[in-house]
């Protein structure tokens, strides 16, 4: 039986929901169809948002021979078969190849397309749910235009579900589908922006719903919930979305927004990604809170250890404690700036030798090499401080640590100024 999603697949841009930033009036994909000058394109976005549909519509607007491959099961031999037909009379105007899930092609497979996409014999439209800048071979990427597809809104999905219900009624002729719009809104909300998933769930709901005394199909919220399962979550531990969520998680804590931080923690908890959460919290404690609240890392370490011992679902509690602590703590990035600037100098300039009096002198013959000679032992001086040069001569005036403006670092700054002034 043909899936309902295929039965109602749009055949023109006017029927497509969402992606108005690409297909709206006067927008780029609409203009491309109007001119019929189709470039090599890569469609990037989550599943079920219209990538395949729009590719099919574009293919229908050209006079090129159309081929469709899925990179999950296609091979170089499949591409060679298409190449062998390039001189065929049916391919005289060229070939348009739609390659779904291109991220599953390795470098060699992607390279096999290069010559033909460059000379125009093959026009490539590839789609991927992964960031193409990470997964598509650079030479092929440079010959293509990348278009990002966005998740569909609940309102967009409801429009398509209403269309699907109408299509079912037309097919069944004398049978009506009784379905409150709130049920369609639930199906849309539950799909996580994936239209195909919401239509598939609707189809299952229609098949399992009972008929009322009038012989009409009556859908209830209980049946819709039973057929939909858990709400879809757009998260892949190995995918692009993984890093997007982690990035938003850290930036929310850095921005002192406990609500945003807890939201992204919840996404990570839902995905069961305990290792990534714990690792990122330890990083944040040093990178973003740092010397403004040095004890934060100890507290976070205790929360992380507790979470690792507890496992989910209880791990969410100490993790939430750590997140709220960090989000509401004073912030300083002076430590990461200091080490990164020092590393930058090592990479870019000749920093020179360690001063002789700072070199190790704990071995026989060290004095003959002038090691340690002239070193001033700070504990022998007032306030355990004496002025002497510690940096190599080539960078003796370098300043790496710049204290942040917070209580802890202002106190440390005052102490350093005090001992230096007293010991002048």
Q: What CA–CA distance (Å, rounded) separates 55 from 59?
A: 6
Model pLDDT, residue 151: 87
Q: If pLDDT is split at 50, 70 and 90, which confidence band does 33 have?
A: confident
224 with 250, same domain: the answer is no
Q: If pLDDT is split at 50, 70 and 90, which confidence band does 298 have?
A: very high
215 with 182, same domain: the answer is yes
Average pLDDT over residues 305-328: 95
CATH of the domain at 178: 1.10.8
Per the domain annotation, does 11 fall within a domain? no
Evaluate whether 357 touches 373 at the Cβ level (below 8 Å). Answer: yes
Segments forming the whole domain that contains residue 126: 19-148
CATH of the domain at 57: 3.40.50.300
Lowest mean pLDDT among 14-18, 101-105, 106-110, 237-241: 237-241
135 with 114, same domain: the answer is yes
Average pLDDT over residues 181-188: 89
Q: How long a stretch of residues is the chain?
A: 424
Average pLDDT over residues 150-158: 90
Q: If pLDDT is split at 50, 70 and 90, which confidence band does 326 have?
A: very high
CATH of the domain at 366: 1.10.3710.10
Give the model confidence (pLDDT) of 388-423 as tens digits: 999 999 999 999 999 999 999 999 999 999 988 876
Phi then psi for residue 122, to 5 deg, are -120, 125
Task: Say which residue, 190 or 390, is predicted with more confidence.
Answer: 390
Closest CA to 42 of 80, 121, 99: 99
Task: Express as a percent the part of the chain with pLDDT over 90.
Answer: 47
Q: If pLDDT is split at 50, 70 and 90, which confidence band does 230 have?
A: low
How many structural domains are present in the chain? 4
In sequence order, the 6+-apart residues with CB closer than 8 A to the CB of 416 are none
Neighbours of 70 (CB within 10 A): 15
Question: End of a domain among 148, 174, 197?
Answer: 148
Per the domain annotation, does 9 fall within a domain? no
Per the domain annotation, does 238 fall within a domain? no
Where do we find the tokens 């003796």? 396
285 with 352, same domain: the answer is no
Question: End of a domain among 327, 344, 366?
Answer: 327
144 with 26, same domain: the answer is yes
Question: End of a domain among 195, 228, 261?
Answer: 228
For the purposes of burial, counting CB atoms within 10 Å of the CB of 404, is it exposed (0-12), middle (13-18) or buried (19 or more)?
A: buried
Per the domain annotation, does 84 fall within a domain? yes
In this predicted structure, the answer to whether residue 158 has a pLDDT above a threshold of 70 is yes
Neighbours of 148 (CB within 10 A): 13
Model pLDDT, residue 414: 93
Q: What is the mean pLDDT of the chain?
A: 88
In this predicted structure, the answer to whether residue 110 has a pLDDT above a threshold of 70 is yes
């Amino acid at each position: 039986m043909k899936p309902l999603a295929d039965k109602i697949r749009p055949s023109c841009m006017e029927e497509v929901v969402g992606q108005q930033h690409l297909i709206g009036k006067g927008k780029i994909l609409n203009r491309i169809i109007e001119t019929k000058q189709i470039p090599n394109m890569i469609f990037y976005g989550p599943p079920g948002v219209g990538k395949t549909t729009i590719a099919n519509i574009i293919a229908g607007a050209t006079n090129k021979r159309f081929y469709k491959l899925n990179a999950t099961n296609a091979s170089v031999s499949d591409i060679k078969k298409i190449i062998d037909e390039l001189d065929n009379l049916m391919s005289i105007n060229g070939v348009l190849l739609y390659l779904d899930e291109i991220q599953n092609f390795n470098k060699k497979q992607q390279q096999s397309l290069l010559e033909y996409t460059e000379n125009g014999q093959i026009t490539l439209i590839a789609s991927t749910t992964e960031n193409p800048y990470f997964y598509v071979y650079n030479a092929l990427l440079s010959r293509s235009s990348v278009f990002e597809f966005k998740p569909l809104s609940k309102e967009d999905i409801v429009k398509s579900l209403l269309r699907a219900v109408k299509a079912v009624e037309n097919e069944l002729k004398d049978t009506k589908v009784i379905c409150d719009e709130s049920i369609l809104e639930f199906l849309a909300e539950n799909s996580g922006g994936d239209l195909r998933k919401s239509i598939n769930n609707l189809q299952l709901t229609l098949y399992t719903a009972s008929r009322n005394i009038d012989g009409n199909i009556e859908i209830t919220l209980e049946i819709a919930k039973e057929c939909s399962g858990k709400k879809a979550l757009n998260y892949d531990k190995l995918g692009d979305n993984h890093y997007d969520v982690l990035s938003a998680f850290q930036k929310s804590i850095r921005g002192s927004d406990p609500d945003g931080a807890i939201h992204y923690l919840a996404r990570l908890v839902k995905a069961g990604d305990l290792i990534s959460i714990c690792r990122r919290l330890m990083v944040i404690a040093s990178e973003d809170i740092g010397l403004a609240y040095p004890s934060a890392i100890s507290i976070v370490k205790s929360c992380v250890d507790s979470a690792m011992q507890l496992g989910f679902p209880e791990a969410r509690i100490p993790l939430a404690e750590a997140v709220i602590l960090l989000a509401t703590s004073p912030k300083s990035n002076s430590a990461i700036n200091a080490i990164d600037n020092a590393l930058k100098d090592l990479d870019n300039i000749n920093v020179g030798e360690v001063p002789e009096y700072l070199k190790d002198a704990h071995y026989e013959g060290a004095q003959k090499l002038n090691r340690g000679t002239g070193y001033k032992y700070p504990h022998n001086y007032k306030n355990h401080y004496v002025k002497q040069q510690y940096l190599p001569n080539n960078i003796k005036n370098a300043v790496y640590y710049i204290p942040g403006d917070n209580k802890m670092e202002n106190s440390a700054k005052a102490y350093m100024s005090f001992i230096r002034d007293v010991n002048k």
